[in-house]
């Protein structure tokens, strides 16, 4: 972990996370931000950073977070807050492995586990968030998370009403390759057709509702 961006307007939280990061990753560079605009600008300079973000304090929306992820796909976001709603947690985890969940009342071992997990490229979800999701929520997250970035992009193209040949032409792929991606998407989401896949992805936040035209 080379760059850590602390996006939280609570001084005690920023200083505490900075101290923890310094202990676990001595070579890590910590940068502090207290508003959304500053965070967006900073990511242009650090497109591979890890962001510790309390979105409830920065007054940002789910849509803004998803757009930021689209602009900076290599950034990891540790969602760090006192309270996170079930729907919010579900949408963020469905959006992909770049989003992690850690509550502010987490014990030291869980905080350390979060840092260790994120640093090796895996998704972390704290126990409290998993309990919040319940068994069905956990299963749905597990079903959507395996989608690759290419599969998500093809799913978005499908939501725009594009057929296999059109998608293949735009992405310079063979029709067979796109058809294989479609089959993999259906298999991972456990659905039988494009309509079911898109409807599922809408709930998951993989496809933005404004993109959907079918």
pLDDT, residue 165, reads 93
**CATH fold for domain 3-141:** Rossmann fold (3.40.50)
Residue ranges, comma separated, of all CATH 1.10.10.10 domains in the chain are 146-211
160 within 8 A of 170, measured Cβ to Cβ: no
pLDDT, residue 164, reads 92
Global pTM? 0.67
Q: What CATH number belongs to 146-211?
A: 1.10.10.10
Residue ranges, comma separated, of all CATH 3.40.50.2300 domains in the chain are 3-141
Q: Each residue's pLDDT tens digit in the chain (214 positions)?
A: 689 999 888 888 888 888 888 888 888 889 998 888 888 899 999 999 999 988 777 777 777 887 788 788 899 999 988 877 777 787 777 777 889 999 988 888 898 899 888 888 888 988 888 887 776 666 656 655 567 778 888 888 888 888 999 999 988 889 999 999 999 988 887 788 888 888 877 766 666 666 555 4
3-state SS of the chain is CCEEEEECCCHHHHHHHHHHHHHHCCCCEEEEECCHHHHHHHHHHCCCCEEEECHHHHCCCHHHHHHHHHHCCCCEEEEEECCCCHHHHHHHHHCCCCEEEEECCCCHHHHHHHHHHHHCCCCCECHHHHHHHHHHHHHHHHHHCCCCHHHHHHHHHHHCCCCHHHHHHHHCCCHHHHHHHHHHHHHHHCCCCHHHHHHHHHHHCCCCHHHCCC
Nearest to 107 by CA among 133, 89, 120, 126: 126
pLDDT, residue 211, reads 57
pLDDT, residue 76, reads 93
């Amino acid at each position: 972990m080379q760059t850590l961006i602390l996006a939280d307007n609570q001084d005690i939280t920023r200083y505490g996370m900075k101290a923890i990061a310094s202990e676990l990753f001595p070579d890590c560079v910590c940068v502090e931000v207290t508003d959304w605009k500053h965070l967006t600008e900073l990511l242009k300079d650090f497109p591979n950073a890890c962001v510790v973000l309390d979105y409830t304090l920065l007054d940002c929306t789910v849509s803004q977070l998803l757009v930021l992820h689209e602009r900076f796909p290599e950034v990891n976001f540790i969602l760090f807050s006192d309270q996170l709603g079930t729907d919010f947690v579900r949408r963020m985890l469905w959006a992909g492995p770049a989003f992690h969940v850690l509550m502010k009342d987490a014990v030291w071992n869980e905080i350390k586990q979060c840092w260790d997990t994120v640093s090796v490229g895996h998704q972390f979800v704290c126990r409290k968030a998993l309990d919040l999701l319940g068994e069905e929520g956990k299963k749905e997250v597990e079903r959507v998370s395996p989608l690759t970035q290419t599969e998500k992009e093809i799913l978005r193209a499908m939501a725009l009403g594009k057929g296999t040949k059109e998608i293949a032409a735009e992405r310079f792929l063979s029709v067979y390759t796109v058809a294989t991606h479609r089959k993999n998407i259906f298999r991972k989401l456990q659905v039988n057709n494009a309509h079911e896949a898109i409807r599922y992805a809408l709930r998951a936040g993989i496809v933005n509702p404004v993109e959907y035209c079918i």
